[in-house]
């Protein structure tokens, strides 16, 4: 295929504008050079051995500000980034909540960082203990490490068969606190983490804010006076190796 050659012609007004721009640029450059020469001469006369301290200090401040801003942005981005694992945890929670008509949770990087910090403390022993922090918590342990976030949340959510909605009670001898925390209406944010333990086990934790599972309250009702109410975290879920 033969390509057509098109001759480009710049309109006269564009040519005039470019000429004026170049003239202004040359004038500005000469003015800057003149100012720098005057400053250097004045500085050399007053302090022959010292450079222009004002220029150096302002440049250093500008460069330092840029680098510190970049480092702060990098740390913030690393702290609050959402990984594929995080998305799976969040999706699994919101899937359970959608089934009962509850609004979706939001992923919170600070809660995820809190969960990671506690999970890392459990790498060596995999102890099934809560952090006793200000948030709601669901924790999990399994003997194998092939558990996905969806699988972990499903184990918690399957406790719904032991929960009596009308009586707001759990079947005697069974657990349902993990499920009620997932669907707790006043909980709006979540952050999770998981680790492979040194003994070969698998540990996972999800942290919720505001916390749920307040005594005597229904998970499907919104409350605004949760201060000073006693709350009991659900026990850990333990899954024995297959």
Residues 220, 184 contacting (CB under 8 angstroms)? no
Residue position matching structure tokens 């004045």? 42
The encoded tokens of residue 192 equal 């999770």
Which tokens belong to 135? Answer: 């948030």
Structure token digits, residue 179: 């499920």
pLDDT in tens, 72-86: 544 554 455 678 999
Find the mean pLDDT for residues 201-227.
Answer: 88
For 37-148, strand residue ranges (E) read 106-107, 136-142
Main-chain dihedrals φ then ψ at residue 106, nearest 5 degrees:
-110, 145
Residues 6+ apart with CB under 8 A from 65: none
| Cα separation, 105 vs 7, whole angstroms | 60
pLDDT digits (tens, 9 = 90+) for 108-126: 999 999 999 999 999 998 8
Contact of 190 with 111, CB cutoff 8 Å: yes
Q: Do 147 and 155 meet the contact criterion of CB atoms below 8 Å apart?
A: no
The CA-based diameter of the chain, rounded to the nearest angstrom, is: 92
194: helix, coil or strand? strand
CA distance 121 to 125: 8
Q: Which residue has the higher pLDDT, 69 or 195?
A: 195
d(CA 68, CA 216): 50
Higher pLDDT, 56 or 13: 13
Q: 228-242 pLDDT, tens per residue?
A: 345 566 667 666 544
The mean per-residue pLDDT over the stretch 129-142 comes to 93
């Amino acid at each position: 295929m033969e390509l057509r050659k098109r001759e480009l012609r710049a309109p006269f007004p564009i040519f005039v504008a470019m000429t004026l721009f170049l003239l202004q640029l040359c004038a500005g450059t000469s003015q800057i050079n003149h100012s720098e020469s005057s400053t250097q001469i004045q500085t050399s006369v007053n302090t022959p051995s010292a450079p222009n301290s004002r220029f150096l200090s302002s440049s250093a401040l500008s460069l330092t500000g840029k680098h510190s801003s970049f480092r702060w942005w990098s740390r913030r981005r690393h702290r609050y980034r959402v990984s594929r694992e995080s998305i799976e945890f969040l999706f699994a929670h919101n899937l359970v909540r959608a089934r009962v008509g509850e609004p979706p949770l939001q992923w919170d990087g600070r809660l995820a960082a809190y969960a990671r910090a506690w999970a890392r403390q459990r790498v060596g022993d995999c102890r099934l203990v809560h952090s006793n922090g200000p948030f709601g918590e669901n924790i999990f342990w399994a003997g194998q490490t092939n558990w996905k976030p969806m699988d972990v949340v499903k184990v918690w959510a399957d406790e719904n068969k032991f929960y009596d909605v009308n009586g707001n009670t759990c079947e005697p001898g069974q657990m349902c606190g993990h499920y009620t925390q997932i669907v707790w209406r006043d909980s709006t944010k979540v952050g999770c983490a998981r680790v492979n333990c040194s003994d070969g086990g698998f540990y996972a934790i999800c942290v919720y804010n505001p916390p749920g599972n307040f005594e005597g309250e229904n998970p499907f009702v919104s409350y605004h006076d949760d201060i000073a109410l006693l709350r009991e975290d659900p026990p850990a879920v333990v899954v024995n190796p297959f």
